[in-house]
Amino acid sequence: MNRQKPILYILKTLILGLCPSCLKASIFHKIIILKRDCHICSEDFSKYNLGDADNFFVILVVGIIIMAGLVFAEIHYQPSLSLQMIIWIPATIILSILFTRPIKAYFLYLGYKLDKKRKNTQYEK
C-alpha cells in the first residue's frame, strides 16, 4: 500500500507516467503506447479499458491551445499562411505528444482506483 499523500502520489503518477500500483515502473512502452502490464508488480493494465477518452481530451486541450495561438498570431501579426503552417503543425504534434502521456496516465489511474474501490465494496457485501 502506498503511504504518500494522495496529491503527491497522483502528480507523481501522472507526470512521470508511473504504475499506479507500485509507483516504480513506467506504464509506457516507447513514447505514448501503454504497456500491457507492469513488469515489477504484474498489475494488468489491459483490463482498464480507456477507450478513446484520453485521445478526446488530448484533442480538446491541444485544439484550444493551438486555435488560441493561431487566432492571436493572426490578429496581432498577420503572418503568411506558410509561416502559420511552419509554426502550428509542429506545435500541434509536439503538444499532442506532451499531453498524451499525463492524460493517458490519469485515465489509467482512474481505472485503477475504480477497480480498487469496486473490489473493496465486493468484500464488504
Q: From CA 66, how far away is CA 17, in angstroms rounded?
A: 24
Residue 30 per-residue DSSP state: T
Q: Does 19 bind Zn ion (CB under 5 A)?
A: yes
Q: Does 100 bind Zn ion (CB under 5 A)?
A: no
Smallest gap from Cβ 53 to Zn ion, in A, equals: 22
Q: Which of 14, 27, 38, 105 binds Zn ion (CB under 5 A)?
A: 38
Which among 25-33, 82-90, 93-101, 109-117 is the span making contact with Zn ion, rule CB under 5 A?
Answer: 25-33
Residue 37: beta bridge partners?
44
Looking at the Cβ atoms of 33 and 67, the one nearer to Zn ion is 33
Task: Kindly tell me the sign of the dihedral angle through the C-alpha atoms of 78, 81, 86, 88.
Answer: positive
Q: Does 16 bind Zn ion (CB under 5 A)?
A: no
Q: Does 22 bind Zn ion (CB under 5 A)?
A: yes
Centroid of chain to Cα 26: 13
Q: Which of 21, 99, 104, 109 binds Zn ion (CB under 5 A)?
A: 21
Q: Look at residue 26 and give its three-state secondary structure.
A: strand
Smallest gap from Cβ 36 to Zn ion, in A, equals: 12
Q: Which residues contact 119 (CB under 8 A, 6 or more apart)?
A: none
Q: Does 27 bind Zn ion (CB under 5 A)?
A: no
Task: Kindly tell me the sign of the dihedral angle through the C-alpha atoms of 51, 90, 95, 37.
Answer: positive
Task: Write out the three cell numbers for 91.
Answer: 506545435
Total of residues contacting Zn ion (CB under 5 A): 8
Q: Does 70 bind Zn ion (CB under 5 A)?
A: no
